[in-house]
A and B are shown apart, each in its own frame.
Chain A
Amino acid sequence: MPNDQRALVLVVEDEALVRMHGCDLLESAGFEVLEAETADEAVALLEKHGDVHLLFSDIDMPGSMDGIQLAELVHERWPNIGLLLTSGHRRPQETDIPDEGKFISKPWREGDVLDKIRAILAGK
Chain B
Amino acid sequence: MSASDDWFENAPCGLILMKRDGIILRANRTFIAWTGHELQSLVGKRLPDFLPIAGKIFYDTHFAPLMHLQEHFDEVALDFACAGGNRMPALVNAIEGRDEEGRPGFIRLAIFRTADRRLYERNLLDARDRAEETVRVEREVSELREQFIAVLGHDMRNPLASIASGMRLLGKEPVSERGRRVIELVEGSVIRAAGLIDNVLDFARGRLGGGLTLSRDAREPLEPVLRQVVDELRSIAPERIVLAEYELDDPIDCDRGRIGQLLSNLLGNALTHGAKDKPVRVLAGSEAGTLRISVANGGAPIPVATMARLFQPFFRGQVRSNRDGLGLGLHIASEIAKAHGGVLEVTSNRLETRFTFTMPLA
Q: Residues of A at under 8 Å CB distance from B?
A: 15-18, 20-22, 24-25, 28, 60, 88-89, 91, 93, 105-107, 109-110
Tell me if B154 and A89 are in contact (CB < 8 A): yes
Residue of A nearest to B162 (CB): A17
Chain B residue with Cβ nearest A24: B169
Instruction: Given A18-B162, A21-B165, A21-B168, decide whether A107 and B190 contact each other with a Cβ distance below 8 A.
Output: yes
Contact A24 B154, CB 8 Å, known A91-B215, A107-B164: no
Determine the chain A residues whose CB is within 8 A of the CB of B161 once the complex forms: 15, 18, 88, 106-107
Residue numbers in B under 8 Å from A106 (CB-CB): 157, 161
CA distance A18 to B257 in the complex (A): 21
Q: Which residues of A contact B257 (CB under 8 A)?
A: 91, 105
- In the assembled complex, 13 residue pairs joining A and B whose CB atoms fall closer than 8 Å, in A order, are A15-B158, A16-B162, A20-B169, A22-B165, A24-B169, A24-B172, A89-B154, A91-B215, A106-B157, A107-B161, A107-B165, A107-B194, A110-B168
Taking CB atoms, residues of chain A closer than 8 Å to B190 are 107
- Least CB distance from B221 to A in Å reads 13
Among B160, B166, B201, max chain A CB count under 10 A is at: B166
Instruction: Choose from A21, A93, A109 the contact partner of B169 (Cβ within 8 Å).
Output: A21
Q: Dominant SS at the B interface?
A: helix
Instruction: Determine if B228 is an interface residue (Cβ-Cβ < 8 Å).
Output: yes
State A89–B172 Cα separation when bound (angstroms). Answer: 27
- Give A109 to B165 CA distance when docked, in angstroms: 11
Most central of B164, B172, B194 by chain A CB within 10 Å: B164
- A105-B257, A107-B194, A109-B228 given; A20·B165 CB < 8 A: yes
Total of A-B residue pairs, C-beta within 8 Å: 49
Contact (A15, B215) CB under 8 Å given A24-B172, A88-B158, A89-B157: no
Nearest CB in chain A to that of B187: its residue: A107
8 more A-B contacts (CB under 8 A) besides A18-B165, A28-B172, A88-B157? Answer: A15-B159, A15-B161, A17-B169, A21-B164, A88-B160, A89-B157, A107-B165, A107-B190
| Contact of B162 (CB < 8 Å), options: A15, A91, A105, A109 | A15
> What is the CA–CA distance of A120 and B161 in the complex, to the nearest angstrom?
24
Give the complex CA separation of A93 and B154 in angstroms: 19
A93: chain B residues within 8 A (beta carbon):
215
Residues of A contacting B201 in the complex (Cβ-Cβ under 8 angstroms): 89
Q: Which residues of B contact A (CB under 8 A)?
A: 154, 157-166, 168-169, 172, 190, 194, 201, 215, 228, 257
What is the CA–CA distance of A60 and B158 in the complex, to the nearest angstrom? 10
Q: Known contacts A88-B157, A88-B158, A105-B257; is A21 also within 8 Å of B194 by CB? A: no
Distance between Cα atoms of A22 and B158 in the complex (Å): 14
CB-defined contacts of B163 to chain A, threshold 8 Å: 17
With A and B bound together, what is the CA distance between A56 and B165 in angstroms? 16
Q: Which of B160, B162, B194, B228 has the most CB of A within 10 A?
A: B162
Given the contacts A93-B215, A105-B257, A107-B194, A17 and B154 also touching, CB distance less than 8 Å: no
Cβ contacts under 8 Å, B165 to chain A? 15, 17-18, 20-22, 107
Question: Within the assembled complex, what's the spacing in Å between the Cα atoms of A12 and B194?
Answer: 23
Nearest chain B residue, comparing its CB with the CB of A14? B158
> Which of chain B's residues have a CB closer than 8 A to the CB of A107?
160-161, 164-165, 190, 194
- Shortest C-beta distance, B215 to chain A (Å), equals 6
Interchain CA distance A93-B213 in the complex, whole Å: 12
How far, in whole Å, are A91 and B160 apart by their CA atoms in the complex?
Answer: 17
Chain A residues closer than 8 Å to B159, beta-carbon distance = 15
In the complex where A88-B158, A107-B194 touch, is A17 in contact with B166 (Cβ < 8 A)? yes
Please, which residues of chain B bring their CB within 8 A of the CB of A28? Answer: 172
In the A-B complex, the 4 residue pairs with the smallest Cβ-Cβ separation, listed nearest first, are: A21-B165, A88-B157, A17-B162, A17-B166
Chain A residue at minimum C-beta to C-beta distance from B172: A24
Residue in A closest to B255 when the chains form the complex, CB atoms:
A91
Task: A15 to B257: give the CA distance in the assembly, Å.
Answer: 24
- A109 CA / B228 CA spacing, docked (Å): 10
- Bound together, the chains give a CA A17 to CA B166 distance in angstroms of 6
- Chain A residues lying within 8 Å of B169, measured Cβ to Cβ, are 17, 20-21, 24
Residues of A within 8 A of B168 (CB): 21, 24-25, 110
In whole angstroms, how far apart are the Cα atoms of A105 and B261 in the complex? 14
Q: How far is the CA of A109 from the CA of B158 in the complex (A)?
A: 16
Interfacial chain A residues near B166, Cβ < 8 Å: 17, 21
A21 to B166, CA, bound (A): 7
Q: Which residue of B lies closest to A90 (CB)?
A: B154
Closest to A111 in B: B224
